[in-house]
Amino acid sequence: HEPEVPWGRIVWNRSGIPKHSFLTWLAVLNRLPTRDHLLSWGLAVDPSCVLCSGGTESRNHLLFECTYSWNLWSASAARCDFHPTASDWTSTLSTLQAIHLPSWKTRLLLLVWQLVIYSIWYERNARIHRLIFRSTDSVLSTIDRTVRNRIQALRESNPQLSSQMIQAWL
């Protein structure tokens, strides 16, 4: 059974964490309430990206034109032996849709990609609503712990997959 949309396989996958998949789905549909959207709805908000202050906050800027988010994505992807070359949303999405890797590597990469998207959105909201600012190193540490926990959770149902994924991640 083929997904009904070309991106369905990379958003809704078995290794994903549901809240990360949901947020990724919103990002794919460009439905995140980014500051450019808030402005278009008539709300008076500062359009600047709270992560880098270097551009107008939009889905494309947050994922991954922003230097803060690009640093998170490129460092996390490198741990999966994947080296993104383009820092724009469309290229990243196209590359991930067309990627041909062993199943376990694809699942690890998609888990990490969705987690990075979630982490960026979480950090953005922490800065806006709670005035909490974390460094990329701090967020990368959280990403590392979350990936390890997710792989550990897969161990009982699929020990071989879990073993391959954790060896690649470490």
What does the alpha-carbon distance between residue 47 and residue 86 come to, in Å, rounded to a whole number?
24
Cα–Cα–Cα angle for 22, 65, 37, nearest 5°?
Answer: 55
What does the alpha-carbon distance between residue 90 and residue 157 come to, in Å, rounded to a whole number?
34
Query: For residue 86, what pLDDT is reported?
Result: 84
pTM exceeds 0.75, yes or no: yes
Question: How far does Cα 86 stand from its chain's mean position?
Answer: 15
Q: What is the pLDDT of residues 47-76, one digit of tens each?
A: 999 999 989 999 999 999 999 999 999 999
Q: What is the pLDDT of residues 84-105, one digit of tens each?
A: 988 889 999 999 999 999 999 9
Contacting residues for 103 by C-beta, under 8 A, at least 6 apart: 161
Q: What is the pLDDT of residues 113-136, one digit of tens each?
A: 999 999 999 999 999 999 999 999
> How high is the mean pLDDT of the chain?
95
One-letter amino acid of 51: L
Token readout for 52 is 């880098």
Helix ranges restricted to H, the chain: 8-11, 18-28, 35-40, 59-60, 67-78, 89-98, 103-125, 136-154, 159-169
Query: For residue 125, what pLDDT is reported?
Result: 98
Q: What is the pLDDT of residues 131-158, one digit of tens each?
A: 999 999 999 999 999 999 999 999 999 9
